[in-house]
Homo-oligomer: A and B are copies of this chain.
Amino acid sequence: MTRTIDLNCDMGESYGAWTMGQDAAVMPWITSANIACGFHGGDPDVMRATLALAKQHGVAVGAHVSLPDLQGFGRREMRVTPDEAYAFTLYQIGALTALARAQALTLRHVKPHGALYNMAARDAMLAAAIARAVRDADAALILVGLADSALTRAGIEAGITVAHEAFADRRYEPDGTLTPRREPDAVIHDPLIAAAQVTQLLEHGEMTSRTGAKVRIACDTICVHGDRPDAASFARTLRETLAREGVTVRALADPSA
């Protein structure tokens, strides 16, 4: 049984004159930063600053690739072809890679954003295109996707390392899907309960779903939401609680390797 976990968070989603999130406050408590690459948020200046912030805190950096939809923040599904997804995934990874390399940083992972994440979790063709793009950019990159989804399967198929993502602050249904946000208890507000959910996951490979039934969930990395008002304190308490429980919180790959 592994007692190691990565805490990842979406970062660098400001754009031009607009700020979003609490990157500086959250960065100290996470181990992997998914950095927006200009398609749903982020611009070259924001990307550069976010990389510097991650470097300062020894946080592993990865590309948070998205559909090309700035106004919709990458949250609106678009019918893109696998070839289009392959090309724009490479484009975004490359853009961030060059800005990272200029700061002597190496990208460690790629995690699709928003609608692309959801589409790739269920569409095998799209997932395969993204996985190939990640592999062709750098076969050492880790592909982060919804646990046991079409995307993680595509990554395994493409011969790259995948990381199964689970959520500490979301309730699960007995079938392993997330309880929809419209349900009253969809979100877990107490970081101690969230930490307990993670600990259970690490010890038993399962969590207790909304109905009480146990559900098996693979989990290599936990998504910390940076957009909740208490994001920084939530992340801090989650991390400190996990540490107290003897869990090693560290990035999927050594950020400084």
A residues at B contact (CB < 8 Å): 14-20, 38, 41, 43-45, 47-48, 68-73, 75-80, 83-84, 87-88, 90-99, 101-102, 115, 133, 136-137
Contacts and interface: CB of A to CB of B under 8 A. Distances in A.
Contacts of A102: 90, 133, 136-137
A17 B17 contact: no
Given A76-B79, A102-B137, A91 B47 contact: yes
Give the residue among A93, A97, A98 with the most B Cβ atoms within 10 A. Answer: A98
28 contacts: A14-B18, A15-B18, A15-B71, A43-B71, A43-B87, A44-B84, A45-B84, A47-B87, A47-B91, A76-B79, A76-B80, A77-B78, A78-B79, A87-B99, A90-B95, A90-B99, A91-B99, A93-B98, A94-B94, A94-B96, A94-B97, A94-B99, A94-B101, A95-B95, A95-B98, A98-B137, A101-B136, A102-B133
A16 B72 CA distance: 6
Nearest to A18: B18
A237 B197 CA distance: 51
A14 B19 CA distance: 10
Given A87-B99, A99-B87, A136-B101, A16 B78 contact: no
A154 to B, nearest CB: 16
A113 to B, nearest CB: 12
Q: Would you list the 7 A-B pairs with minimal beta carbon distance, nearest first?
A: A94-B98, A18-B18, A44-B87, A102-B136, A17-B73, A44-B91, A77-B79
Nearest to A92: B95
Given A77-B78, A95-B91, A133-B102, A83 B17 contact: no
